[in-house]
Structure 1
Amino acid sequence: MIFAKAPVPGQVKTRLSPPLTPDEAATLHGSFVLDTLERTKLAASKLKLPIDRYLACAPSSTLVFFQIMEERQSVKLIDQVGDDLGTRMRQAFDSLFVKGYQRVLIVGTDVPSLPLEHYQQALALLETNDLVLGPALDGGYYLIGLKRPVPELFADIPWSTDRVLALTLEKATALGLKTACLPEWRDVDTIDDLQALIEASLLDAKKPKNEQAFSSRTAGALQFIGKKLRSRV
């Protein structure tokens, strides 16, 4: 399940504005959403993963952007429900477990170059673990996987802080959950994260095309934004 906000200027990537304009931030976010949809589809096909893909939409799955994604990306839509991220994730897990799924992953859209193998590894780890987490460099996590509802994991967590991962692991230990972690990965929340991603995309562009992790769309957007940022110094 991919958690995504609609790319509406002024409502996404607000911590990047300034120095980005709201339109630039929204364009970048939209590209990240498309990347995540495309890469999860490629992971399912290339790695032969038996998965269904859902797009958890905010503020509403009725928006034209999400309707287009449903049609073009062959993804099922659900709404994010709840006042905070924890409540929305808990509800999303519940909605899929009720449908009979035995392993559910939630991934964000701020990791556009996440290796395809991470999805395969996460599903494999869920065979022998209760909980799988993808640690982010900022102290949060970019992916979470469960085999059953565990609502306690999402209560009393200070979301969008550097304590999210540590407190989640503490809760998991207290609940007796067998937990595994994927390799750390940088998500994109701050301007420093964005600068690091721009540099990574430039290095990625030097690789053979079949080895590149960034889509040409996102690589182009990042290079354009990089030039804009240099001109604003």
Structure 2
Amino acid sequence: MTATTTLLVIAKEPRPGRVKTRLTPPFTPAEAAALAEASLADTLRAVAATPARRRVLVLAGEPGPWLPPGFDVVPQCAGGLDERLADAFAGCAGPALLIGMDTPQVTPDLLDVDFAGCDAYFGPAEDGGFWALGLSRPEPALLRGVPMSSPVTGAVQRERLLAAGLRVRELPPLRDVDTAADARAVAELAPHGRFAARLAACTAAGEQRAACTPAGEQRAAR
């Protein structure tokens, strides 16, 4: 990647009840938020280690101690996710690559893209969405109206790029962390990160809770 590229991370402040709600159960809302914070911290660390002209956190909420130095923080706009992604690109004057906070296994090597010979980068997610989108000339209209959080999100977004005549280069598919099964699979891919460590701690806490809960209450909870 050249130093002319902007790296964008779109994220939510990791607060209980606002993030990773599909992790509850088996985890508590506080544990789900702690896992989201660890995922975001690992993501930001990878971005910080990648050469870039500018690093921007597009945030819903307020920054916390998990934010490393070297990032500009801008608020997300109102509207659906397609509008918020489009607005993030609208603030870029040159090549930009956008990722989310749900792939803590991401590495600087994956983010070190070169737009020579292509107009766009597309990183498909295993659930049918996408984990990365790069545009050599950011055009917000390419994202507006794309159905988000759908099994066809990635296919529709990629077709938008091709229909606009862009030369698209593929990034490897990655798995988003949405469920407990996702969390375990991703932690195995990045066993030395903050996310894996936090998952191990939350899993141990859950096992301890289960051990301390009478069998009758466990059956009632089901």
TM-score range, shorter chain: 0.7 to 0.9
Contact preservation (8 Å) 1:198, 1:226: no
Give the aligned partner of residue 214 of structure 2. none
| Matched residue type, 1:55 | L
The question of 1:92 aligning with 2:92 is answered: no
Give the aligned partner of residue 178 of structure 1. 167
| Matched residue type, 1:35 | D
Give the aligned partner of residue 15 of structure 1. 22
Distance 1:106 1:198 in 2: 22
TM-score w.r.t. structure 1 length?
Answer: 0.80
| Matched residue type, 1:219 | A
Given the superposition, is the C-alpha separation of residues 82 and 147 from structure 1 closer, same or farther in structure 2, using an over 3 Å criterion?
farther
Q: What is the correspondence of 1:1-233 to structure 2 with a 5 Å cutoff?
A: 1-42=8-49, 44=50, 49-59=51-61, 63=62, 65=64, 68=65, 72-97=68-93, 102-120=94-112, 123-124=113-114, 126-201=115-190, 204=191, 214-215=192-193, 217-229=194-206, 232=210
Structure index of larger Rg: 2
Report the structure, 1 or 2, having the larger helix content: 1
Distance 2:15 2:100 in 1: 17
Deviations 1:145-166 (CA, angstroms, capped at 9, x unpaired): 1122323321322211111111
Deviations 1:35-69 (CA, angstroms, capped at 9, x unpaired): 11111112x3xxxx24311111103xxx252xx45
Identical counterparts, % of pairs:
33
Unaligned runs of 5+ in 2: 1-7, 211-217
Contact preservation (8 Å) 1:38, 1:73: no
Distance 2:45 2:52 in 1: 16
Contact preservation (8 Å) 1:12, 1:29: yes
Please state how far the C-alpha of 1:105 moved relative to its aligned partner: 0.8
| Matched residue type, 1:75 | F
Please state how far the C-alpha of 1:33 moved relative to its aligned partner: 1.3
Given the superposition, is the C-alpha separation of residues 80 and 64 from structure 1 closer, same or farther in structure 2, using an over 3 Å criterion?
closer
Please state how far the C-alpha of 1:225 moved relative to its aligned partner: 2.5
Distance 1:52 1:182 in 2: 21
Distance 1:172 1:219 in 2: 34
Contact preservation (8 Å) 2:187, 2:195: no
Given the superposition, is the C-alpha separation of residues 168 and 223 from structure 1 closer, same or farther in structure 2, using an over 3 Å criterion?
same
Distance 2:31 2:66 in 1: 20
| Matched residue type, 1:53 | R
Contact preservation (8 Å) 2:23, 2:32: yes
Runs of at least 4 residues off by over 6 Å: none
Unaligned runs of 5+ in 1: 205-213
| Matched residue type, 2:39 | F
Given the superposition, is the C-alpha separation of residues 16 and 181 from structure 1 closer, same or farther in structure 2, using an over 3 Å criterion?
same
Given the superposition, is the C-alpha separation of residues 83 and 127 from structure 1 closer, same or farther in structure 2, using an over 3 Å criterion?
same
